[in-house]
Amino acid sequence: MPEGDTLARTAAGLRPFLAGRTITAARARVPGPQVARVVGTTITEVLAIGKNLLIRLDNGLELRTHLRMRGTWHRYRPGEPWRRPASRAVLVIEVPGAVAVCFDAPVVELLETRAEALHPPLGGLGPDLLDAGFDAGEARRRLRAPERAALEIGQALLDQRALAGVGNVYKSEVLFIERVDPFARVHELDDATLERLIETSRRLLIANASRAGGPERTTTRDPHTGARLAPTALWVYGRAGRPCHRCRTSIRVAQQGTDLPRSTWWCPNCQARRL
């Protein structure tokens, strides 16, 4: 599933070609005929909030997409061949000089911007880690909420209602960097640990959201010098059975969570629980 940095980069890539331009044609699998309401409107903003991409219009409406596991946005010149079959397009927006196509996204919605606060997925989001006004104290308060006290921290970091933007890659990487056992319960961790996890999540998301099409996403650079601290771009994610870059112990992977189990990678030595 694309994480907060990917959505921020997607929005940044679409923005110069869509913002300020009038929609000349639009079609969508869902919401279907309703999407005709956007034709003739001017796009005022293209932005990412957590894992949501929003295209706001001057008539008070906005289009929301959530890419989940397989969705992606492409931009083409008018008449340019698409790199994916048209049958996989769920939303197409045409403006002078550009065509934006969303493929395979399971969520496409048309809603009123003023209704965002009442919209369950948007109104319930925690502080956005990439927001310039990010409130770390509020994120910690939400992680400390009674309903999350018994959650394993690896699950809690993925809860977009606590803090928005962390996905499976950053969950594993942040917990490794901060030497926290992914299976420790939130109530077992002190405030200083939660604050470190929040701060590191924000730092990594910002660093990767700002890279301009260069090297792959990386979490192994020194935050002060930028020097690479390991021979791979990631510390533990996707490295099950390979040696830890710190201690050479084999990295492990296990499913975590019940409603929607996700894989978690960790080093059993570096992230051993401190009792």
Q: Are 41 and 85 in the same domain?
A: yes
Write the Ramachandran bin of 60: left for phi over 0, alpha for psi from -120 to 50, otherwise beta.
left
Q: How far apart are CA 235 and CA 78, in angstroms?
A: 42
- How does residue 32 score in pLDDT terms, banded at 50, 70 and 90? confident
Choose the final residue of a domain: 123, 147, 163. 123
231 carries an active-site annotation: no
The number of folded domains in the chain is 2
What is the CATH classification number for the domain harbouring 187?
A: 1.10.8.50
pLDDT digits (tens, 9 = 90+) for 195-236: 999 999 999 999 999 875 555 899 999 998 989 999 999 999
**Is 77 a residue of the active site?**
no
Q: Among 2, 109, 116, 148, which one carries the catalytic annotation?
A: 2
Q: Kindly tell me if the per-residue pLDDT of 82 is higher than 70.
A: yes
Nearest to 244 by CA among 208, 217, 272, 216: 272
Q: Which pLDDT score, from 0 to 100, does residue 203 have? A: 96
Catalytic residue among 75, 121, 262, 268: 262
In a domain, 22, yes or no: yes
Q: Is position 171 annotated as part of the catalytic site? A: no
Q: Which residues, 6 or more positions from 57, have their beta carbon under 8 angstroms from its beta carbon? A: 23, 38, 41, 42, 43, 44, 63
Are the C-beta atoms of residues 53 and 10 closer than 8 Å to each other?
yes
Answer for the pair 42, 93: CB distance below 8 angstroms, yes or no.
Answer: no
CA-closest candidate to residue 42, choices 32, 56, 52, 31: 56
Q: Find how far residue 274's CA is from the centre of its chain.
A: 30
Cα dihedral 24→28→34→40 (10° resolution) = -10
Choosing from 9, 51, 142, 171, the catalytic residue is 51
Domain finish residue from 64, 95, 123: 123
Domain limits at 95? Answer: 4-123
Is 29 one of the catalytic residues? no
Does 15 reside within a domain?
A: yes
- 13 is a domain residue: yes
CATH number at 100 reads: 3.20.190.10
At 261, the pLDDT band (50, 70, 90 cuts) reads confident
Find the catalytic residue in 3, 109, 116, 152. Answer: 3
